[in-house]
């Protein structure tokens, strides 16, 4: 004989919310993957842990304008502290992110567009280096994906050329 399981409204609501949130995450993930393919990401880039972390970091209404995968070196302005790792440098319409994801931790540094001074790109053979010059130090990413590197540099340059909103401090 079959048992009928009855759920109250609260239980139904919890089931419905979890189902909706899983579907929204799937949709968000597929949108991010489509954006990355348009920016030149290859199949290898799409299986990296940094790509899998993007749906957790990127907001649903945020647009990825450029991404660079590779080995990075981040140094402070006085060169007293240097960080080396493998990750991704992502330019969105709102910010620039440095994501380094490992099995037990994830480093996610957010860089405001206001602190970016310049971006440069150099290429030797199959390898290219993108350097993001900021007021808080430089970030260099060595990459093999030249298409992604060009899109990232173009996105940051376009952001540097657009006029910034003036922020006034009324407290002083």
Question: Which pLDDT score is estimated for 33?
Answer: 92
Residue 140 confidence (pLDDT) above 90: yes
Right CATH number for 11-161 from 2.60.120.460, 2.30.29.30, 3.40.50.720, 3.30.530.20? 2.30.29.30
Q: For residue range 27-74, what is the model confidence (pLDDT) as tens digits?
A: 888 899 999 999 999 999 999 999 999 998 999 889 999 999 999 998
Ordered by start, the domain boundaries in the chain are: 11-161
4-13, 45-54, 106-115, 156-165: the lowest-pLDDT one: 4-13
DSSP codes joined into one string, 48-107:
SHHHHHHHHHS-TT--EEEEEEEEEEEE-TTSS-EEEEEEEEEEESSEEEEEEE-SS-EE
pTM for this predicted structure: 0.78
């Amino acid at each position: 004989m079959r048992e009928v399981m009855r759920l109250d409204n609260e239980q139904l609501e919890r089931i419905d919310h979890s189902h909706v949130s899983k579907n929204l995450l799937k949709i968000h993930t597929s949108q991010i993957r489509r954006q990355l393919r348009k920016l030149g990401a290859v199949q290898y880039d799409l299986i990296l842990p940094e790509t899998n972390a993007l749906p957790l970091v990127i907001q649903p209404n945020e647009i990825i304008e450029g991404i660079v995968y590779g080995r990075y070196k981040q140094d402070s302005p006085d060169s007293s502290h240097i960080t080396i790792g493998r990750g991704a440098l992502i330019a969105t319409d709102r910010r620039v992110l440095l994501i380094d994801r490992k099995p037990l931790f994830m480093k996610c540094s957010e860089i405001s567009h206001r602190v970016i001074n310049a971006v440069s790109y150099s290429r030797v053979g199959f390898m290219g280096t993108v350097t993001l010059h900021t007021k808080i130090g430089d970030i260099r990413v060595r990459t093999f994906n030249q298409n992604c590197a060009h899109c990232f540099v173009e996105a940051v340059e376009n952001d540097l050329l657009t006029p910034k909103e003036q922020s006034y401090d009324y407290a002083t």
